[in-house]
Amino acid sequence: MTLDPRKILLVHPLGYRAAAAGRDISRIANVMPPLGLASIAAYLERHGVQADIVDCYARPDSDRTIRDYLRSERPAAIGLSCTTSSFLDGVRIARLAKSELPGIRAIFGGPHVSALRERVLAEFAEVDCVVVGEGEETLRELLAAGPDQAAAVRGVVARAAGGDVLFTGHRDTFLDLDTLPLPAYGKLAGFPHAYRLPIFNYPKAPNTSCLSSRGCPYACSYCDRSVFRRSFRYNSAEYMVEHLRHLHQRFGVRHVNFYDDQFTFNRKRVVEFCERKQAAGLKMTFNCAVRAEHIDLDLLKMMKAAGCWMASLGIESGDAELLAQHRQNPDLDMLAGKIRLIKQAGIRTKGLLMMGLPGESEASIRRSMEYVFSLPVDDFNLAKFTPFPGSPLYERIHELGEFEEDWEKMDCMHFQFVPRGMTRERLEELFTLFYKSHFQRPQVIHGYLAMIWKSPDSWKRFVLNLADFVRFARGRRRLGGAAES
């Protein structure tokens, strides 16, 4: 039987052994839908291509599902969207697909392959071609062109006739986001109940994440820019409201997290969104990520009235000197003032931090603790700095400390990079101390107790998974199949 060129299976790899998924605290706390694949699937379907999705992260034991689909549908291509930590699992799945359908094309996309480009094809025979950057239009053209014409499509890394690996160059234009169909959430098995936001980050269930922009106008040292480069585009307020209406009416979603890097960058758009959402009578709440430079009290009050429940800010570090090395406008006093404005508007505040940046020291970590604990922050997330391919730091990371480039552990949950003057063991101790000190503060304890009536579903999930959270707090956790001590 021949393969069907008008069908593709899109896969979101898990990134580690399926047997370990049940103990992965990151999965227990948060499962986000693969928004990029859902957008690509909707776009391809609009253009006559049958695109189905298998999300291995939401359903870890998916090998049988993939095999059954390949045998019954016989698609001509399998598309794998990979982060750095999930790339090798993507290669394994591509190998599985080729054992079932020897003629199938394995097409990879996502930040990891967009950053490494030619290196991916040179080192991994299982990869037939790579989509660099946005996937919708490039993948559609690639499928239409067929295996022998990949080099004619812009935005692709492919093998030439002689076996040489070539990059066809970036596409000349970026997509107008308002022209895209709404993501194909219905192709995600179990949506929305198979997906959940972090505990205590929402008032009601079911909930989910969505996107209303792509890219970021800033250029921080630690951020990957390989997919959207320096572009920053966003949906109109009208499109945003229709997106929420669709999620609410079709799937019963009651709360949405806007997974945008900069939700409030265009103030006019946010004002119009708030006005349109209220006029539409949409009884949905939402979270968003903001940058301190782009919020003010009047805007925050308007967002609160429109249902904003939580706002996240990238603090990164409470050490002014360290922060100045890695991001623009490192004004900690201004940031503290804006966090207090968010609280004044009645919106929960979440701080986003990193530990282990180049230049980090025990003194800078303790300054970060003092800074964060002086602020009215309701929740915070402390990531372990990871130098991802595509970030400015990646190219010179070996000059700045000790870096173990183990892709499967490059997930912001392991200290793969150790700054000069520090040890991995001491970083782990200070990481645990940071979290324990936060959760032992009386105001924080009181805030989480208040979640019993503000977010009852979060408390239910917390109690059901209490043993795993205790192991996490003690530092004996199993993440991605690898035990940490």
Q: What is the pLDDT of residue 19?
A: 74
Measure the CA angle with vertex 168, ends 164 and 169; round to 5°: 135
DSSP state of 294: G
**Confidence grade of residue 478 (pLDDT, cut at 50, 70, 90):** very low
The predicted-structure confidence for 426-458, as pLDDT tens digits, reads as follows: 999 999 999 999 988 888 888 888 888 899 999
Measure the CA–CA gap between 477 and 485, rounded to whole angstroms: 7
The predicted-structure confidence for 327-359, as pLDDT tens digits, reads as follows: 877 899 999 999 999 999 999 999 999 999 999
Whether 34 is in a domain gets the answer yes
Measure the CA angle with vertex 194, ends 189 and 197; round to 5°: 135
Whether 209 is in a domain gets the answer yes
From the list 424, 417, 384, 414, the residue with the least C-alpha distance to 402 is 417
One-letter amino acid for residue 245 of the chain: R
- Do both 423 and 276 map to the same domain? yes
Measure the CA–CA gap between 146 and 418, rounded to whole angstroms: 45
Measure the CA–CA gap between 240 and 235, rounded to whole angstroms: 6
On whether the pTM is more than 0.75, the answer is: yes
DSSP state of 181: P
SS3 284: coil
- Do both 274 and 328 map to the same domain? yes
Where would I find the H helices in 234-385? Answer: 237-251, 267-280, 297-305, 320-324, 332-344, 362-373
**Confidence grade of residue 207 (pLDDT, cut at 50, 70, 90):** very high
Give residue for tokens 């993501």.
Answer: 183
Mean residue pLDDT across the chain:
91
Measure the CA–CA gap between 471 and 330, rounded to whole angstroms: 35
Long-range Cβ contact pairs of 392-397 (< 8 A, separation 24 or more): 392/219, 392/221, 392/222, 393/221, 393/222, 393/358, 394/115, 397/358
DSSP state of 163: S
Whether 459 is in a domain gets the answer no
Q: What is the pLDDT of residue 317?
A: 95
- Do both 287 and 434 map to the same domain? yes
Q: Is 74 exposed, middle or buried (0-12, 13-18, 19+ CB in 10 A)?
A: middle
Whether 104 is in a domain gets the answer yes
DSSP state of 137: H
The predicted-structure confidence for 267-298, as pLDDT tens digits, reads as follows: 999 999 999 999 999 999 999 999 999 999 99
Largest CA distance in the chain: 67
Average pLDDT over residues 418-433: 96
Please give the helix or strand (H or E) that residue 309 lies within, else none: strand 308-316
Cβ atoms within 10 Å, residue 381: 15
Residue where one domain finishes, among candidates 124, 150, 167: 167
Q: What is the pLDDT of residue 473?
A: 60
One-letter amino acid for residue 366 of the chain: R
Structural domain that includes position 377: 197-442
- Do both 160 and 214 map to the same domain? no
Percent of the chain topping pLDDT 70? 95
Q: What is the pLDDT of residue 475?
A: 56
Q: What is the pLDDT of residue 189?
A: 96
Measure the CA–CA gap between 405 and 387, rounded to whole angstroms: 9
Residue where one domain finishes, among candidates 119, 147, 167: 167
**Confidence grade of residue 100 (pLDDT, cut at 50, 70, 90):** very high
Q: What does the CA dihedral 18, 22, 25, 31 come to, rounded to 10 degrees?
A: 70
- In 251-307 the beta strands, taken as DSSP E runs, fall at 255-258, 285-290
Whether 18 is in a domain gets the answer yes
Q: What is the pLDDT of residue 328?
A: 74
Whether 233 is in a domain gets the answer yes
Cβ atoms within 10 Å, residue 275: 15
Measure the CA–CA gap between 43 and 51, rounded to whole angstroms: 9
- Do both 215 and 161 map to the same domain? no
Q: For 165, what's the count of Cα atoms within 13 Å in the CB-facing half-sphere?
A: 15
- Do both 363 and 409 map to the same domain? yes
**CATH number (domain holding residue 256):** 3.20.20.70
From the list 257, 267, 265, 313, the residue with the least C-alpha distance to 288 is 257
Measure the CA–CA gap between 246 and 182, rounded to whole angstroms: 8
**Confidence grade of residue 425 (pLDDT, cut at 50, 70, 90):** very high
Which tops the pLDDT comparison, 326 or 93? 93
- Do both 341 and 211 map to the same domain? yes
Whether 474 is in a domain gets the answer no
**Confidence grade of residue 24 (pLDDT, cut at 50, 70, 90):** confident
Cβ atoms within 10 Å, residue 238: 12
Which tops the pLDDT comparison, 188 or 469? 188
- Do both 264 and 348 map to the same domain? yes
Measure the CA–CA gap between 481 and 483, rounded to whole angstroms: 7
Q: How many domains does the chain have?
A: 2
**Confidence grade of residue 399 (pLDDT, cut at 50, 70, 90):** very high
**Confidence grade of residue 59 (pLDDT, cut at 50, 70, 90):** very high
Strand partners, 208: 256
From the list 169, 7, 14, 22, the residue with the least C-alpha distance to 478 is 22
Q: What is the pLDDT of residue 481?
A: 35
The predicted-structure confidence for 176-190, as pLDDT tens digits, reads as follows: 999 999 999 999 999
Whether 277 is in a domain gets the answer yes
Measure the CA–CA gap between 138 and 141, rounded to whole angstroms: 5
- The two structure tokens encoding residue 391: 């970030």
One-letter amino acid for residue 225 of the chain: R
Average pLDDT over residues 405-430: 96
